[in-house]
Amino acid sequence: MAVDGVDLDLYAGEIHALVGENGAGKSTLANIAFGTVKPDAGTVQASGTIGLVHQHFELVGRLRVWQNILLGREPRRGLVIDAAGAKARVLQLASDNGLEIDPDAFVEDLPIGIQQRVELLRELQREPSVLLLDEPTAALAPAEIASFFTTITHLAERGTAIMIVTHKLQEVISYSVRTSVMRHGKIVGSMLTASTTLDDIAREMVGGEIPAVADRAPTTPRPCLSVRDFSAGSGSNRVTEVSFDVQGGEIVGVAGVEGNGQSPLADALAGVATYTGTLTISSSKKRPGVIPQDRHREALVMPWSIVENAILGRQHDPGVQKGALLDRKVARADAESIVERLDVRAASVDVPIKTLSGGNQQKVVVGRALLGEPDLVLAYQPTRGIDVGAAALVQSRLMEARNAGAAVLLVSFELDEILTLADRILVLYRGNIVGTFDRAEIDRAQIGRLMAGSK
Amino acid sequence: MNDAASVVMLIVSLTLIKATPLIYAALAGVISERSGVINIGLEGMMVAGAFTAVAVSGPTGSVVLGIIAGIIAGALFGLFLGILATKFRVDQIVAGTGINLIAIGGAAFALVLVFGQPGASKEVPSLEGASWILIALAFASAAGLHGLLYYTPWGLRVRACGENPHAVAAAGLNPLRTRIIAVTIGGALAGLGGAYLSVGELNLYSDGMVAGRGFIALAAVIFGRWTPFGATGAAIFFGLFEALQFALQRSGIPNEAMQALPYIAALVALAGLTGRVRAPAADGVPY
């Protein structure tokens, strides 16, 4: 059961944070409150209407901002839409809420942060007394997050009851009045945020101690990956003549806001996109271990079993292939070793991978990338959208691969993840490396500024 | 000189005549696909319209009643496809193909029931000289659909449904109902296109008379970039090739090659467009 016997009160004028691991039932609860999911039992009552800002925005990219915001509520003149009146209404709504928006822009042309503003305005024009926000900062840059909370705090001050569904505890501590923690479909704790700490909330979420990431061991660097004058991608999301090295026994973290060239860089290094420049890999292994960004699209075949997914991409390797056929025994042994090493929770290795939780699916992806102890590991958002326990496990395995001498290139939009793991940090901004930091000289504020494009 | 002018006149008027059923069917495809339902069943809806118009025009002696019946028949098949594609989430290609088979087979069977003979109906009252009205109405329909899609609240809803039905639901609207209505309107337009073929251009129904026009119309939808005016232009383009086929009948080119012209034109036009047009994002995707 996704949500089981929950009681929750939201108060006008307060920001209430609903936290919990992936799969704890937070989004389901928000959708029940909003009305898109019908509860088996129980009631939802609100003194007014309820609005919901979705985690994955429900917008129409090829329509204009005003069309998205006023869809279903267009001002009319006779039979037709009063476009001028609609734009004026959107501008008024935006300025009432201290937001800036171009009503005529096409939504697909806007950055993620502005798209979220459109979704927010769409909900606000119905003047909800309760506003639910599902993972509102998941796709935002640090600067956008701050401005987002300014808006939300302002809304709360004017009497809206706000619930933020999130797993980012730092934001909970900084901005919420109350915090409720969900675990396995139940609310296991509700408290005033001021009277608690980040660590307490985290423990409540996980239901115990937070697993630590494996320790960093001393290593002997040796050349592994060398990139010179490397360009890839097109349009605004590209890298331009970047040069860097990743040594065996170190994790190099690429920090940056999404869309600054990470995807073309990672794709070209993984061999699935073209590039110019030189790429030298000194490795005794046939290929690097690759953890792609999007496990659904690039890493797994959802209806297939763990066994079948375990050999995906390795089907011609000696061992896996025997004559013209696949060696099912080897495939099964590989799958079982992944399950054991990454602590994958599954009934058996033969179940379709889509029946696993996101965290367990990601563990299979990571386990497969680390099979055969690759000299080079390319990890792109390795803990995206997975729970704290699974994330710590994945990060530990990457650290252990590094300790064993592998070169690890970590591309992540979560600066905290890079700060935890990396021996060296490269900051990517508009396709250029604008800063390099050794672990000893990390300056979080300076990295944040470089990510945003200032000096 | 006079000869050349009369050939041009002939080609222009033939083009308009041949383009008209394609325009109706292409507009049907546009409204359907803009709402997110791929309408492979255009051919069957045209067949239903063509046959029903004849089957009603004959016994009642009223061509107007016949045309209205043809529109209703097309709309009913549209409604059928709309419900299959939304409420029952049937694969839209399969559902549309099923509609084609039902309509073509059903018309062949009903011919025997209504007229007591297979292959073709008897001659029935038709529009004759007044068929220009349906030609003019085709262009008016294009303008009307343009206004509907781009200037009315309901049109905005249709376009949003074809791009992201979840956004429509998030706005508190019912995307399924919008899609069903859009496909039903499309069915009515395709039925009218079929009725034009049987009681506008001719005065009878014969098996195979729609002859793949529903599929050419699908090509016209893409060629016209899913817009009413674009699709109309594309339909005229394909109509021109059909007209040329008649105009050049005595030119010595084998007749079979000439008959293939519109289809070849459709194929070449589509091949040339690959990667340069963008379908509605949720076209063919069930909600």
Which pLDDT does position B210 carry in this prediction?
95
Assess if residue B79 is contained within a domain: yes
Average pLDDT of the residues of chain A: 90
Q: How distant, in Å, are the alpha carbons of A141, A301, B193, B223 from that of B35?
A: 34, 30, 20, 18
Assign domain A213-288+374-455 to its CATH architecture.
3-Layer(aba) Sandwich (3.40)
- Contact assessment for residue A265 and residue A242, using Cβ atoms and an 8 Å cutoff: yes
Per residue in A256-292, pLDDT tens?
A: 988 889 999 999 999 999 999 999 999 888 889 999 9
Q: Please, which residues 101-140 of chain A have a Cβ atom closer than 8 Å to chain B?
A: 122
Q: What percent of chain B has pLDDT over 70?
A: 99
Check B153 against A76: CB less than 8 A apart: yes
For residue A258, what pLDDT is reported? 81
Question: How many structural domains is chain B composed of?
Answer: 1
Query: Tell me, what DSSP letter sits at residue A107?
Result: G
Cβ distance of A58 and B153 shorter than 8 Å: no
* Shortest Cα–Cα distance, B239 to chain A (Å): 31
Nearest to B43 by CA among B196, B210, B182, B208: B210
Residue with tokens 């329509």: A63
Chain A / chain B CB contacts < 8 angstroms: 56
> What's the rounded Cα separation, in Å, for the pair B198 and B128?
11
- Mean pLDDT, chain B, as a whole number? 93
- A454, two tokens: 């200032």
Residue appearing with tokens 């039979």: A79
Q: Please enumerate in sequence order all residues whose Cβ is within 8 A of that of B147, keeping only pairs 6 or more positions apart, or say none.
A: A80, B155
Confirm if A409 and A269 have CB atoms less than 8 A apart: yes
Q: What pLDDT does residue B193 have? A: 98
Name B57's Cβ contacts closer than 8 Å, sequence gap at least 6. B63, B65, B66, B67, B69, B124, B125, B126, B199
Query: How far, in Å, CA of A423 to CA of A420, rounded?
Result: 9
Q: How far apart are CA B50 and CA B193, in angstroms?
A: 8
Q: Which two tokens stand for residue A443?
A: 């300056």
Decide if B20 contacts B196 (C-beta within 8 A).
Answer: yes
Give the 3-state secondary structure of residue A378.
Answer: strand
Put simply, the answer to whether A60 touches B170 (Cβ < 8 Å) is no
Q: Write down the pLDDT at residue A109.
A: 85
State the DSSP code for A298: I
Do the chains contact at B153 and A81, CB–CB below 8 Å? yes
Closest CA of chain B from A2, distance in Å: 22
Q: What is the pLDDT of residue A401?
A: 96
Residue % of chain A over a pLDDT of 70 = 99
Interchain contact A77–B (C-beta under 8 A): no
Starting from the edge strand earliest in sequence, which strands make up the sheet with A407-411, in order?
A: A289-291, A376-380, A407-411, A251-255, A424-429, A432-438
pLDDT band at A313 (very low <50, low <70, confident <90, very high): confident
Q: Give the distance, in angstroms, between the CA of residue B40 and the centroid of all CA atoms in the same chain.
A: 10
- State the pLDDT confidence band at A88, using cuts at 50, 70 and 90: very high
CA distance A187 to B33: 45
pLDDT tens digits, one per residue of B149-160: 999 999 999 999
Does A448 have pLDDT greater than 80?
Answer: yes
Contact B160 A36 (CB under 8 A): no
Contact between A361 and A300 (Cβ < 8 Å): yes
CB B30 within 8 A of CB B40: no
Whether residue B34 contacts residue B280, with contact meaning beta carbons closer than 8 Å, is answered with yes
Helix (H) or strand (E) holding A429: strand A424-429
Secondary structure in 3-state letters for chain B: CHHHHHHHHHHHHHHHHHHHHHHHHHHHHHHHHHCCCCCCCHHHHHHHHHHHHHHHHHHHCCHHHHHHHHHHHHHHHHHHHHHHHHCCCCCHHHHHHHHHHHHHHHHHHHHHHHHCCCCECCCCCCCHHHHHHHHHHHHHHHHHHHHHHHHCHHHHHHHHHHHCHHHHHHCCCCHHHHHHHHHHHHHHHHHHHHHHHHHHHCCCCECCCCCCHHHHHHHHHHHCCCCHHHHHHHHHHHHHHHHHHHHCCCCCCCHHHHHCHHHHHHHHHHHHHCCCCCCCCCCCCCC
pLDDT in tens, B103-145: 999 999 999 999 999 999 999 999 988 999 999 999 999 999 9
Q: Side by side, which strands form the sheet with A161-166?
A: A50-53, A130-134, A161-166, A15-20, A178-183, A186-192
B156 contacts in A (CB within 8 Å)? 63, 67, 71, 74, 81
Please state whether beta strands A237-248 and A222-234 pair in parallel, antiparallel, or not at all (unpaired): antiparallel
What pLDDT sits at residue A324? 86
Q: Determine the distance in angstroms separating the CA of A64 from the nearest CA of chain B, rounded to an integer.
A: 11
> Is there a contact between B156 and A81 if contact means CB atoms under 8 Å apart?
yes
A80–chain B Cβ distance below 8 A for any pair: yes
* Per-residue pLDDT reduced to its tens digit, A190-216: 999 999 998 899 888 888 887 889 999
β-strands A222-234, A275-281: how paired? antiparallel
- In what order do the strands lie in the sheet containing A222-234? A237-248, A222-234, A275-281
> Residues A338, A306: contact at Cβ < 8 Å?
yes
Rounded to the nearest 5 percent, the helix, strand and coil shares of chain A are: 35, 25, 40
CB contacts of B164 in chain A (<8 Å) are: 58-61
B5 within a domain of the structure (yes/no): no
- Which residues on adjacent β-strands are paired with residue A428? A433
Q: Which residue did the predictor score with more confidence, A356 or B192?
A: B192
CB A180 within 8 A of CB A172: no
Chain A residues with CB-CB distance to B170 below 8 A: 52, 54, 58, 122
Q: How far apart are CA B23 and CA B239, in angstroms?
A: 9
* Tokens (6 digits) for A67: 């069309």
| Cα angle B79-B82-B88, degrees, rounded to a multiple of 5 | 120
Pick A81's closest partner by Cβ from B151, B170, B171: B151
Cβ distance B157 to A72 less than 8 Å, yes or no, reads yes
CATH of domain A15-206: 3.40.50.300
Most confident of A46-60, A207-221, B134-148, B233-247: B134-148
pLDDT of residue A1: 65
Q: Answer yes or no: is pLDDT of B1 > 60.
A: no
Chain B residue whose CA is closest to A118: B167
B160/A67 touch (CB, cutoff 8 Å), yes or no: yes
Of A36, A59, A81, the CB nearest to B167: A59
Note whether A261 and A233 are within 8 A (CB).
Answer: yes
Give the model's confidence band at B57: pLDDT under 50 very low, under 70 low, under 90 confident, else very high.
very high
Pairing of strands A222-234, A80-81: unpaired
- Specify whether the CB–CB gap between A69 and A125 falls below 8 A: yes
Q: How confident is the model at residue B17 (pLDDT cuts 50, 70, 90)?
A: very high
| Separation CA B76–CA B51 (nearest Å) | 14
Q: Which residues of A touch B144 (CB under 8 A)?
A: none
Q: Do B45 and B21 form a contact (C-beta atoms < 8 A)?
A: no
Task: Work out the end-to-end distance of chain B between its first and last CA atoms, rounded to an integer number of angstroms.
Answer: 59
Beta bridge partners of residue A305, listed in sequence order: A352
ipTM: 0.89
**What is the span of the domain harbouring residue B196?**
18-211
Phi/psi for A142 (5° steps) reads -50, -45
Cβ <8 Å between B167 and A68: yes
Q: What residue ranges do the domains of chain A occupy?
A: 15-206, 213-288+374-455, 294-373
Contacts of A124 (CB under 8 A, 6+ apart): A51, A93, A97, A131, A155
Which pair of tokens denotes residue A289?
A: 């271990």
Q: Do domains A15-206 and A213-288+374-455 have the same CATH topology?
A: yes
**Under an 8 A CB cutoff, do B157 and A80 touch?**
no
Local confidence band at A386 (pLDDT 50, 70, 90 cut-offs): confident
Give the best residue of A36, A49, A60 to mutate against chain B (max B CB count within 10 A).
Answer: A60
Q: Which of A297, A287, A411, A273 is nearest to A365 (CA)?
A: A297
Confidence of residue A66 (pLDDT cuts 50, 70, 90): very high
**Which residues partner with A377 through β-bridges?**
A289, A408
